[in-house]
Amino acid sequence: MTRASDAPSGAATTLPTGVPLSDPALADRIAQRLTQVDAVLDEAVASTDALADDAGRHLVAAGGKRFRPLLTLLAGELGDGTQPQIVDAAVVVELTQVASLYHDDVMDSAPVRRGAPAAHTVWGNTVAILVGDLLFARASALVAGLGPEAVVLQSRTFERMCLGQLHETTGPGPDDDPVEHYLQVLSDKTASLLATSARLGAMFGGCPDEIVEAVAAYGEKVGMAFQLADDVLDIASSGAVSGKTPGTDLREHVPTMPVLLLRQRVTQGEGTPADAELLGRLDGDLSDDAALAAVVADLREHDVLAETRTLAVRWAREAAAELAVLPDGPVKEALTDLATALADRTV
**pLDDT tens digit sequence for 234-281:** 898 765 555 556 788 898 888 899 999 999 999 999 989 999 999 999
pLDDT at 3 (0 to 100)? 41
pLDDT of residue 148: 97
Give the model's pLDDT for residue 315. Answer: 95
Query: Does the structure show a pLDDT above 90 at 82?
Result: yes
Q: Does the model's pTM come out above 0.85?
A: yes
Domain spans in the chain, listed from the N-terminal domain onward: 4-344
pLDDT in tens, 222-243: 999 999 998 998 898 765 555 5
Burial state string for 124-159 with b = 16 or more CB within 10 A and e = fewer than 16: ebebbbbbbebbbebbbebbeebeeebeebbeebbe
Mean pLDDT of 183-196: 96
pLDDT at 67 exceeding the cut of 70: yes
Which homologous superfamily is 4-344 in?
A: Farnesyl Diphosphate Synthase (1.10.600.10)
